[in-house]
A = this chain, B = another copy of it.
């Protein structure tokens, strides 16, 4: 049972309603559908939202906190594909849409409150309000573009360039994440990230 009761529920959905309104304004019945279909859920730090091998059942919108989507390879190395903070979405979309076992994990880097919708409720939402078909197409497009940029970066940039671009794109995350997490996102070892930072600090100081 979620630790957040029904009286606070409408208040909790507000950030999500705002988020949708920014994309395409919703009418009253659509807002009610959102309230009915999305349920708040709290994750304590280190709790899993998805474990590999399971089918991803939820599409989560972050109200407060931070989750990460990552893969653990055969050698036990962590590779973070995505951080999600306030007003962003997270899910293994492949597993979620195809109803197949996920190869990824999602867990909480901080205590985090999400609004989540199940696969079947989302389908139902599409049927009852086709506007959401379009809204979620746009969300999918945004995720797609983000991924495309990352592939471009992984191909053609050095770790230092990727770190610089991380600093520009997510300045608010720098002090919120440990360097272990950032390194796993950049695709390097923490040791090497440390050296990069040393190099940059030296160049900046003179």
Contacts and interface: CB of A to CB of B under 8 A. Distances in A.
A141 B141 CA distance: 9
A187 to B, nearest CB: 5
Given A133-B137, A137-B137, A140-B140, A152 B103 contact: yes
Contacts of A155: 71, 73, 79, 154, 187
A81 interface: yes
Task: Give the size category of A's interface with B.
Answer: 20 to 34
Which of A81, A154, A187 has the most chain B CB atoms inside 10 A of its CB?
A: A154
Copies held by the complex: 2
Which of A75, A103, A144 has the most chain B CB atoms inside 10 A of its CB?
A: A144
Contact of A147 (B74, B97, B137, B148): B148
A94 interface: yes
Interface in A123-151: 130, 133-134, 136-138, 140-141, 143-145, 147-148, 150-151
A81 B144 contact: no
B134 A98 contact: no
A145 B150 CA distance: 14
A151 B154 contact: yes
Interface of A: 71, 73-75, 77, 79, 81, 93-94, 97-98, 103, 130, 133-134, 136-138, 140-141, 143-145, 147-148, 150-152, 154-156, 187
Contacts of A103: 152
15 contacts: A71-B155, A73-B156, A77-B156, A79-B152, A79-B155, A81-B148, A93-B141, A93-B148, A94-B141, A98-B145, A130-B130, A136-B137, A147-B148, A147-B151, A155-B187
Contacts of A154: 151, 154-155, 187
